[in-house]
Structure 1
Amino acid sequence: NLNDLNTFLIDSQIPSELKKCFGKSTIDYKLSNNLIMLFCHSDGPLKCESELKSKLKRELRCAFEASTKGESPTLLNLIYRDLYIIEGGTAEVTDEHELRQIEMASRKSDRQEKIVRPDKIFNGSPGREEPIRTVLTKGVAGIGKTVLTQKYTLDWAEGKANQDIQFIFLFTFRELNLLKEKTFSLVELVHHFFTETKESGICSFEDFQVVFIFDGLDECRLPLDFNNTKILTDPREATSVHLLLINLVKGHLLPSAHVWITTRSVAASQIPAQFVDIVTEIRGFNDRQKDEYFWKRFRDEEQASIIISHILLSENLHIMCHIPVFCWITATVLDCLTINNDSSDLPKSLTDLYIHFMMVQTDPPWSPDSRKMVEALGKLAFDQLQKGNLIFYESDLTECGIDITAASVYSGVFKQIFKEERGLYQDKVFCFIHLSVQEFMAALHVHLTFFNSGVNLLEEKKSWSFKLLGIKHKQKVFYQCAVDKALQSLLTQTERGSQTNQETVQYIKKKLNENLSTEKSLNLFHCLNELNDCSLVIEIQQSVSSGSLSTDELSPAQWSALVFILLSSENYLDDSGVTLLLVGVKNPCCTLETLRSGFRLFHPQQFKS
């Protein structure tokens, strides 16, 4: 309309001699539209695109791969590794713990999956005719979603890919959360974060090829209600930020724009399926890429060989190294221990690894003050985990009794356990380096609270009978409670002890003989691994090796152990392989004794042959 056009003329940098062509009372809309199109293809937008690319190159070229010896910028192009991205899947809710998601993903065969090139994220698979507007990319915490969006944007800024796109606007929900109480139009929101567009006088993006990237939906604290939302079609109309996002995703705003959203699987369902054209999933490093990471990280071939061999011996470590950031955590700890010639006692469990990680990250060395900081961070981790928060603002810290100054000190001492980041407004945002680190710190808080005060945080209601129990019995009940919580996929870490440790093992074995789901049984076997108890697994292995295994006499716990062994063997049989195996096993000539020589649970190539 006339008012919008006049606003455009006033706010834009169209030369004054062109503005004179527009009268205020009578107006030739055909002429005006042609002049606007001329502006859109003039030096103004081209200059804006160039300035935006320059800014993004400055911001994204250097990434931080942390170091215990001090942070130093590293070129993103040097540390980036191609991620295994597949097309397919759904945005459905999953209650499965992310460690289990990683474990199952690492066992899936890629033969039937559609691989997606990062720079072709909006192209879809070959043969697809429908255009792709909205892409939802999911993956577990630390798998590389943020780095992927940064690399995609950097490649565009450096002229390496997607040069048909004129503008890429990369937003993070961490920063958008800070605008929860403010109002913007879509154009104003872009101007706010990308000032180059405002300075160039661009106040309409309908005539440009634009990509909006929203990173970290799982960190969103905006009320995204796609069912009862005001329809908004004018990108110059001001409203709340969450309404802008909803209308942009739905396609009411800038229907020609591309939208890319990244999230952990747990939050993927916030975007209704009808508004997503394709779902992609990042699977992280495959086994070859894991090895490549450690060979490139360690120049000493002998050290690299020791570390890779050790990781292969620990199933949990090997599975977790599917996640790029966990490769760094593992490398940090094992580097320190092998340099100090302590390779004979390298951590085999996740609990061991995180304890060592906490110790090597402490700067200065461990002290009473460090202990106080750990206790404060543990409480923060636990309280925020209960709320589902993985990032923390000043208000979150205040609720946990930590002032903003103290938090900055903590992030300086524990440099890569607890990070301080700054957004557009210089508002401080804090987070743990990875979800599993936050879970470990939360478990540590539960443990310390119990032994320091006798309070069992895993019990929702404290009973007088619990307070009257003796200390040994209290410990037993405490760890039994922890196991019960593990069955709900909350915390899987338990404390090492002697008598209490054995009682916990026996309690887990008792639980395994109950009618549990497969997922819960496998979770408990991982708990036994953390307690360094492999007795059930060894028992089944010995029965298989001797040919004395009888499926008629197996207890539920032994069945679970057999399933755990088969899943741990890296034998990717899939449905077709299982069918062939069943045909052979049902043959009357087939007995466990004749299978014994070929059935090697920990030699996958022999087993597959």
Structure 2
Amino acid sequence: MFKDGRNHVSTNSENGHLQGERSESPAPSCISMKSNQSKGEPLKFKDGNHSLLHSNTQGRRTKSTAPSCISMKSDQSKGEPLKFEDGNVSLLHRQDPEPVASYTFQKTFKLNLIKKFQWLNEVIINQGNQTLLNEIYTELYITEGHSGDINKEHEVRKIEGASRRITTEETPIKYNDIFKPLSEEDEPIRAVLMKGIAGIGKTVSVQKFILDWAEGKENQDIHLIFPLPFRELNLMKNQKLSLMKLLHVFFKETKEIKMSNLEKVLFIFDGLDECRFPLDFQNTVRVCDVNESASVPELLINLIKGNLLPSALIWITSRPAAADQIPSECVHRVTEIRGFNDPQKKEYFRKRISDQILANNIITHLKALRSLYIMCHIPVFCWISATVLERMLGEAESGEIPKTLTQMYTHFLIIQTKILREKFPKKQESDEEMLLKLGKLAFQQLMKGNLIFYKEDLRVCGIDVKEAAVYSGVCTNIFREEFGLHQSKVYCFVHLSVQEHLAALYVHLMFIKKKRNVVKKLRLLTVWLKENTISHVHKSAVDKALKCQTGNLDIFLRFLLGFSLQSNHNLLHALVTQTGSCSRNIEKTVRYIKQKISEDLPAKKSINLFHCLNELGDYSLVEEIQRYLKSGTQSELSSTQWSALVFMLLTSPHELEEFDQSKYVSTDMITESLLIKLMPVIAASRKAIIRCDTIRARCLAALFSALRSETSDFRELHLTANTMDMTGNKLNSDIKCLSTLLKNPHCKVKILRLCNCGVSDEDCAALTLALRSNPSHLRELDLSFNNIRDTGVKCLSAVLGNPRCKLETLSLSKCGVTDEGCATLTSALKSNPSHLRELGLSQNNVGDSGVNHLSSVMENPYFKLETLRLRNCGVSDKSCASLWSNPAYLRVLDLSWNNVGDSGLRCLSAVLGNPQCKLETLWLSNCGVSDEGCAALASALKSNPSHLRELDLSSNNVEDWGKRLLSDFKNDKHYKLQELRFDGR
């Protein structure tokens, strides 16, 4: 509430402050250097008391039927305080006697924070209704990264993942744990920088953190929390005052008690991207006394650097593009809010919509529209979609259900203007005039790259302060008059995409109504007459968007082209009187976009142009690719067709289960540039099979890095026969990239096949080092046809012996392994025997000695190996018997191309006749077996007929008699034998 009783809503900061007069009382002196460990001494007061009161009482949730969105912000403090189970509104309960002053201070401070942060307001959709944050809050996906990881790509484009950026190694983290070290050995966390795009939930995470603390649920080792949003600090940028006086201005409670020492307090600076004063960390005067006067920027810099209150914790939130204002040496942890994953999207809609049938219908509708469902990673887009679809599917509104981005946002705009009419029925200005003014503001500031505006910006567009207050449903305004220091006002739109939508609407209406192309300023009348069609406006916008390296005009372009459709013209009739008709010019625009796609643009640019074609209702290129895929023909695709293929696969409503390169292009046609073009599809798939001989290091590095994304659901990677083996080059640098992928706790890769990839024993060491740090996710590892030798096996054994290792399949065919490697391998399996199910050692010089090592681990009842492949391993009849120390688990045995002979087969037959034997497949190709061995085998099968299903005796000395003996088992229905091969048949 403000002094005049007005209520205003903030979209980017809910950190309002308590109103109060400034105090001139002296502030305490600067404290000495303190440790900021997780457990510190309590706040010290002048009276010598050291205790702070903490609450363990949890508030009862207040039921609210008003829909809400976690990303909408409020700086209001209205609403009754949280009530507790015993009916007492007091949050703090004494356990020990302490001074009334400190008790009252803590009680008042926490209660005021609860008043301020327990409610969640939406913009104007539910004016007057409020929802408890605890009822609507949905967990967000937050990762830990590294400082300096700044990316200025358009924020919606980043979320859509059409061009997955290469990220540093990431670790998931809970919002309440951002100041907690990952382990006891790690250094304490003092300063945290949290990045995230607009509307992703930064401010709401701050709000939830504060609320949990004030309610006594989390982080009770923190004594006080001071939220100081940049929007409010902007209004004091020219003031010179001490830190204590600054706190008195924001938190009037601090005037009521004298503090001599501040320990374990948290300062939260929300919205660095909204900061309107320079932060010069190099040339700022040093301030270390809380009673020393300085400018607000100087106070902030000294707090962040640790000169002022060195034991205080610092939390800064920012959009990525502004985060690099904070020097990396001042930040101990960088986190990034990634938004909602798919389960969280569903959870949000089910919390947001009380009617669960309607909520499920909304989820189903969005999932069918991949381009819209992807955008639901952004919480504010979930809110917009829920606002629109709740009315459309709930029959509060009529009309066609939105299927495109333009339709969704236009419906949202219509809903807001309807509510404005109801709230201000005597408003003289028409909706059309309002939209043109707001659209002009949105367009002009978008072209300048501005997302926050001031009174003078509004005045240029013909908007005065009174109008801005009325527009608060569309252009959310934040008045900061309660300080009594400034009369400044700051304005912004609910979200960047809302600004882009209004900007596009302005460009469209300016041409329809006044035949003006505001995108391209034409000075010559002759040029204006020649280019006086909507298609020329579209061409100007396409060219401008393609030239913009950051992609900041991509979504604006989609909206602008979407307004050309007749269906969207019909929607606009609810807002403006004259919408015109552009249908005759759409074909020209479509042709121009297709021409641009054919110019071999970067993937992210071409994909956005396909989104534009969707907005225009043209799917011809995608349909062309679909016809190609159905035909099954293999031919070289054009650049345009490749772009269409990538877009089609990415926007398919079905999950991408497998990317098999051979389905789209043959091995001899694949190029590195083509594979990079396909990278977004590979990263979005669950499985990728890449068989090419032209992959270079840069391409593999990009692949491994793309798969580290927390949004990736990648499970299986096959790389076979690439150039690095054929040219003699090694994987060194690429193994490092792969290792980074594998040791990431996020990594979901379960199957990794690197057949014939030139992996050496040195590479194997780097690879297994990564697996040792994160051994629990991988289930299958195939390193066949690589020169890893016994040294590499020794490295792998260190992973296999780890109890956390869950590897089930290990293939090391033709890897230069000897009996020495078998010894180290079996030693590891003895330490961790319960997981491995398949072991492939074919074409290695294992010999009888190696088999004897394996047999020693097979005696372990916990060793449950089911498949053992020893083809061409130098095995003789001497070691056949030792393989059956524990016959209950083995299902597949391959001894082909070994000197087994009849004597070895007799040993095997003795085990096959054992009722405990469950062997189903036995391969003995080229093993020197004759009729004599077949007779022993037939006798065993008669004793134990119920399991063997496949028997391979090809390339042996078996005559007709031996064949007939065994063929009888295949022809007899009482036996399970289904496949029997002699001489390759």
* TM-score, normalised by the number of residues in structure 2: 0.53
Task: State whether residues 134 and 249 of structure 1, in contact with CA within 8 Å, keep that contact through their aligned partners in structure 2.
Answer: yes
Whether the 8 Å contact between 2:200 and 2:339 is mirrored in structure 1 is: yes
Amino acid in the other structure paired with 1:326 = F
Same amino acid, percent of matched pairs: 47
Matched, 1:255 2:310: yes
- Answer yes or no: is the 8 Å Cα contact 1:106–1:322 preserved in 2: no
Residue 633 (structure 2) aligns with: 548
Q: Residue 643 of structure 2: which of 554, 560, 572 is its match?
A: 560
| 1:169-225 Cα deviation digits (max 9, x unpaired) | 0111111111122112222211210111122123x54x4211010111111111112
* Alpha-carbon separation, structure 1, partners of 2:614 and 2:685: 28
Q: Secondary structure of 2:283's match?
A: coil
1:38 to 35, 45, 48: 48
What residue number does 2:593 align with?
508
Shift in Å at residue 150 of structure 1? 0.7
Return the offset for 1:255. Answer: 1.4
2:539 aligned residue: 480
User: Once the 2 structures are TM-superposed, how far is the Cα of residue 607 of structure 1 from its aligned partner?
Assistant: 11
The aligned residue for residue 121 of structure 1 is: 178
Change in 2 beyond 3 A, CA 1:500/1:200: same
Matching residue's letter, 1:544: L
Question: What is the SS of the residue equivalent to 2:231?
Answer: helix
**Contact 2:200/2:378 (CA < 8 Å) preserved in 1?**
yes
2:348 and 2:45 map into 1 onto residues whose CA distance is 54
DSSP 3-state at the match of 2:608: helix
Aligned position for 1:82: 139
Counterpart mapping for 1:289-438 below 5 A: 289-340=344-395, 345-362=400-417, 363=419, 364=421, 369-411=430-472, 415=473, 417-423=474-480, 424-425=482-483, 428-438=489-499
Q: Please show how residues 122-201 of structure 1 align to structure 2 within 5 Å.
A: 122-126=179-183, 129-201=186-258
Hey, what's the Cα distance between the residues in 2 that align with 1:9 and 1:501?
Answer: 67
Distance 1:522 1:304 in 2: 30
1:18 corresponds to which residue? Answer: none
Counterparts in 2 of 1:12 and 1:126: CA distance versus 1, 3 Å? closer
Equivalent pair of 1:522/1:564 in contact (CA under 8 Å): yes
Query: Residues 463 and 224 from structure 1, CA distance in 2 versus in 1: closer, same or farther, beyond 3 angstroms?
Result: farther
CA–CA separation in structure 1 for the residues paired with 2:237 and 2:343: 43
> How far apart, CA to CA, are the structure 1 residues paired with 2:27 and 2:300?
25
Cα distance change of structure 1 residues 438 and 451 upon mapping to structure 2, 3 Å threshold = same
Contact 2:656–2:685 (Cα < 8 Å) also in 1: no
Once the two structures are overlaid, the 10-residue window that deviates more, 124-133 or 361-370, is 361-370
1:213 partner SS = strand
Query: Alpha-carbon deviations, 1:586-605, whole Å to 9, x = none?
Result: 9xxxxxxxxxxxxxxxxx99
1:229-271 Cα shifts (integer Å, max 9, x gaps): 2222222221211121122112221111110011111211111
Q: 1:469 aligns with which of 506, 521, 530?
A: 530
Output the aligned Cα RMSD: 3.4
Q: 2:686 touches 2:715 (CA, 8 Å); kept in 1?
A: no
For residue 215 of structure 1, the aligned residue among 250, 253, 270 is 270
Deviation by residue 1:500-540 (Cα, 9 ceiling, x = unmatched): 21211111111111132222112212212222222212211
Contiguous gaps of at least 5 residues in structure 2 = 1-22, 29-43, 52-97, 565-581, 659-681, 695-712, 718-750, 752-985
Shift of 1:310: 1.3
- Tell which deviates more after alignment, 570-579 or 74-83: 570-579
The 1-side partners of 2:452 and 2:240 are apart by 23
- Tell which structure's C-alpha radius of gyration is larger: 2
CA 1:252–1:387 in structure 2 vs 1: closer, same or farther (change >3 Å)?
Answer: farther
What is the aligned partner in structure 1 of residue 508 from structure 2? 447
8 Å CA contact 1:12–1:200 kept in 2: the answer is no
CA contact (8 A) 1:11 1:201 kept: no
Q: Evaluate the alpha carbon distance shift between residue 605 and residue 194 of structure 1 in structure 2; reply closer, same or farther with a 3 A threshold.
A: closer
Which letter does structure 2 place at the counterpart of 1:147?
A: V
Contact 2:657 2:686 in 1 (8 A): no
Secondary structure of the residue aligned to 1:479 is: helix
Residues in 2 aligned to 1:236 and 1:130: alpha-carbon distance in whole angstroms: 30
1-structure distance, mates of 2:511, 2:252: 52
Stretch of structure 1 that moved more, 385-394 or 138-147 = 385-394
Provide the rounded CA distance (Å) in 1 between the counterparts of 2:368 and 2:163: 16
Q: Which amino acid aligns with 2:333?
A: I
Distance in 1, Cα, partners of 2:335 & 2:225: 20
Q: Look up the match of 1:593.
A: none
- Following the alignment from structure 1 to structure 2, what is the Cα–Cα distance between the partners of residues 523 and 46? 58
- The CA distance in 1 between the partners of 2:465 and 2:583, in whole Å, is 40
**Aligned equivalents of 1:126 and 1:583: distance in 2?**
41
For residues 224 and 466 of structure 1, do their structure 2 counterparts lie closer, same or farther at Cα, with a shift above 3 Å needed? farther
> Of residues 502, 518, 532 in structure 1, which corresponds to 2:617?
532
Deviates more, 1:304-313 or 1:136-145: 304-313
Residues 35, 150 of structure 1: CA spacing in aligned structure 2 closer, same or farther, 3 A cutoff?
Answer: closer
Comparing 490-499 with 145-154, greater Cα deviation is found at 490-499
Aligned mates of 1:10, 1:477 — CA distance in 2: 66
Q: Secondary structure at the match of 2:492?
A: strand
Deviation (angstroms), 1:144? 0.7
CA shift for structure 1 position 316? 2.2
Corresponding residue for residue 284 of structure 2: 229
How far off is 1:106 after superposition?
11
Secondary structure at 1:421's aligned position in 2? strand
2:583 corresponds to? 498
User: Judging changes above 3 Å, is the alpha-carbon distance between structure 1 residues 461 and 135 closer, same or farther for their aligned structure 2 residues?
Assistant: farther
Tell me: CA distance 1:525–1:607, structure 2 relative to 1, closer, same or farther (3 Å). Answer: farther
Which protein has greater RCO, CA pairs closer than 8 Å, 6+ apart?
1
8 A Cα contact 1:108 1:572, kept in partner: no
Q: State the distance in 1 between where 2:459 and 2:255 align.
A: 36
**Matched residues in 1 for 2:115 and 2:617: separation?**
48
Conserved? CA contact 1:336–1:360, under 8 Å: no
CA 1:127/1:516 → structure 2, altered by over 3 Å: closer, same or farther?
farther
Normalising to structure 1: TM-score of the pair? 0.83
Letter in 1 for 2:536: V
51-60 or 540-549, which deviates more: 540-549
- Deviation of 1:401 after TM superposition, in Å, equals 2.7
How many angstroms does 1:66 deviate by?
4.8
SS in 1 for 2:48: helix
- Out of 508, 519, 522, the residue aligned to residue 604 of structure 2 is 519
Higher helix share: 1
In structure 1, how many angstroms separate the alpha carbons of the residues matched to 2:318 and 2:440?
26
Out of 690, 696, 721, the residue aligned to residue 582 of structure 1 is: 690
Q: Deviations over 1:269-313 (max 9, x none)?
A: 111222111111111111112112223333444433332121012
